[in-house]
Amino acid sequence: MQQLFDLSGMVALVTGASTGLGAGMTLGLAGAGADIVLVDHRERTATAEKVRALGRRTLSLHGDLSDLGFVGKVVAETVDAFGKVDILVNNAGIIRRTPAIDFSIEDWDTVMNLNARSVFFLCQAAARDMRSRGWGKIVNIASLLSFSGGITVPSYAASKGAVAQI
Count other C-beta atoms under 10 Å from residue 132's C-beta.
Answer: 11
Catalytic residue, candidates 10, 156, 157, 159: 156
Does 156 participate in catalysis according to the annotation? Answer: yes
Phi and psi (nearest 5°) for 160? -75, -30
8: alpha, beta or left? (left if phi > 0; alpha if psi -120 to 50): beta
Sheet with 87-90: strands ordered across = 58-62, 35-40, 11-15, 87-90, 137-140
Instruction: Show which residues are catalytic.
Output: 156
